[in-house]
Amino acid sequence: MKIKLFLITACTPVLLFSQKVFTSDVTNFWNAYDKIVAEKDSLQKMNLIQTLYIEKGTPGLHNIMKARRYTAEEYVYTIGKYPKFWTSIRPRTLKAKIQAKNVEKSIAALKKIYPEAKPANVYFTIGLLRTNGTTMGGNVLIGTESALADKDVDISEMSTSHPQLKAYFAGNPINFFASLTAHEYVHTQQKSTIGNNLLSQVVMEGVAEFVSNLSLNKKSSVAAMAYGYAHEAEIKNLFVKEMFTPLVNTASNWIWNSSNNRFGIADLGYFVGNEIAKKYYESESDKKTAIKYMIELDYNNEAILQNFVDKSAYFDKPVAQYISGYEANRPTVIGIKEFENGSKNVNPNTKIITLTFSEPMMFFTNFNFGPLGEENAMKIERLLGYSEDKKTLRVQIVNLKPNQRYQMLIDEGFRSMNDLPLKAYLIDFTTGK
């Protein structure tokens, strides 16, 4: 028997399989908006957004603000800056209660292929165009100002401030709202939401994308899919060189990104992850078990993840073979110009150390304490900068004490021009008397 979704009022949660759908944040936003645009005093505008929207907000609103770093000041600024956008998006967001029916359809379809799905609340909010949907605390958070948009939304005021919106809105995201909801709902069922490296995050996103569209019998709405199939060999060749890299280094190339990258196409990581999940699913005879395994996979367990990817046979070689190539290509610290690392008699009057790298480095730096902790840390007074060839970095250090052991970890946040993280290098020496 189909379970019906009853919409009572904008501030009353909608019951659905024992989870709830909240739409009150949308109503509260527009109440605040009308008063803000009529108000001239800037301090009063801040008070209005704070009291009428933020303080009245659901846990979902507070979570999406935290996840995307929205502030009261930014809400007031954006409301004043883009009146044409807000006027055009308003009627679309006010259909949130109607769109809640698509939540019912999406989750019902997902539960057919994954009956173990646990309840998760869904919150319709209005954000500031930094997400159409995300998750936090086991709940689905929808940014209706993005998720319910279409090609006719007026973004003429945003051509320079939000260049990525033109292509996104042109794709009529509102037509794929059911897929978005299912995708984010899958994330609430997974063991983690942030991967240890690019591969784990891409598989995590790919599973959510593949399973959500499989449940709805739809093709993915991710624009990168068409480009991915047309350039798959090129994409694979580059991905295997970067897939073990920490997210902070490579997310801008593959995931949650704009089209301002080496491919000129956003979110190609979704394509790679979707294909890995698809190939795994196709290789398994017990499809229901395969879906359950994919969703419940421990993506941050290196051995389990590698086994899953290898079973998909998406790449030409086992993952372990790519790891050795990745490690071989990472930059290293060759040494220190002023003294030999490990020395027991370093001049305590040393003021500058010069690090030499195996290849040109980007401007990123990352210094940490060594195993002996802060008490024995060599401390930096200021960075003096890289050499012209970017292979050496001069650092001015805080005065050293005689007969003292010092350590400093030159950590993986350093990145080569190829965007690969440095192999960590421990500076460890003792000063002379």
Q: What is the pLDDT of residues 11-61, one digit of tens each?
A: 444 444 456 899 999 999 999 999 999 999 999 999 999 999 999 999 999
d(CA 171, CA 176): 9
Instruction: Report pLDDT for 251.
Output: 67
Instruction: Report pLDDT for 163.
Output: 74
Residue 10 has pLDDT above 70, yes or no: no
Instruction: Report pLDDT for 46.
Output: 97
Give percent above pLDDT 90 in the chain. 77
Give percent above pLDDT 70 in the chain. 94
Structural domains of the chain in order of their starting residue, each with its CATH number: 8-189 (no CATH), 193-329 (no CATH), 333-430 (2.60.40.1220)
User: Which among 162, 167, 168 is positioned nearest to 133, based on CA atoms?
Assistant: 168
Task: Provide the token pair at 316.
Answer: 């030409």
Residue of 314 and 250 predicted with greater confidence:
314
Instruction: Report pLDDT for 101.
Output: 82
Average pLDDT, the chain: 91
Prediction pTM value: 0.81
Instruction: Report pLDDT for 19.
Output: 65
Instruction: Report pLDDT for 247.
Output: 78
Instruction: Report pLDDT for 223.
Output: 82
Q: Is 298 exposed, middle or buried (0-12, 13-18, 19+ CB in 10 A)?
A: middle
Task: Provide the token pair at 326.
Answer: 């990745």
- Taking residue 420's Cβ as centre, other Cβ atoms within 10 Å add up to 22
Q: What is the pLDDT of residues 351-374, one digit of tens each?
A: 999 999 999 999 889 999 999 999
Residue 324 has pLDDT above 90, yes or no: no
Range with lowest mean pLDDT among 114-118, 219-223, 413-417:
219-223
